[in-house]
Amino acid sequence: MIKERIDIKKIDGQLFEIKLVEPENSKPASFTHYLHNHTNGVSQFYKKDALAFVKEILVKEYPMNEITNKVAEEALQYLIFDLNKTVPFPAPEKPKFKFIDLFAGIGGFRMAFQNLEGKCVFTSEWDKYSKQTYKANFGEIPFGDITKEKTKSYIPNNFDVLCAGFPCQAFFIAEKTWWI
């Protein structure tokens, strides 16, 4: 989750609003992407951080127990079997192609491409509310800002189609201004 803070600084006698954004944790996105790609050969891109995420959760949940990588691996494998029970819009069982979803918003492109029997193997979206909606719809947390090298490093190299939604925030701001 992105953590934001606004600071007011006085520089050369003028006050400035400075928006500070702390780096986001990619482990939850790696975890959900690993779970959703365990059968198509793409999960290898997410496994390291997915295991670290599961291990962190288990350490917090069971502080008196020794949580090894093997325990985390077993927990991760167990979670795969419980995957699609609560996802409103699951991926097709036998996809015909793989795609990535950049600037994903709440998943409009994903829905269309899943209806064409495609499997999403990577998602990126920076807006925290869109990410929450995306997770609720597809059971997957999008990675953050695609302009960051850390986020780009998670893109798998074996996909067929790249989807990218154009930013619509400007239209929403214009619409609000027009109605005021």
- pLDDT per residue as tens digits for the range 51-105: 998 899 889 888 899 999 898 888 887 776 665 567 889 889 899 999 999 999 9
Cα 179 to Cα 91: distance, rounded to the nearest angstrom: 39
What DSSP state is assigned to residue 180? -
**pTM, 2 dp:** 0.73
pLDDT at 175: 47
pLDDT of 83: 57
Set 18, 112, 164, 168: catalytic member: 168
Residue span of the structural domain in which 122 resides: 4-179
H helix intervals, 39-98:
47-61, 69-81
For the chain, the domain total comes to: 1
Of the ranges 37-41, 112-116, 131-135, 165-169, which one carries the lowest mean pLDDT score? 165-169
- Tell me, yes or no, if 168 is annotated catalytic: yes
Identify which of 138, 152, 87, 83 has the alpha carbon closest to the alpha carbon of residue 109: 138
pLDDT of residue 12: 63
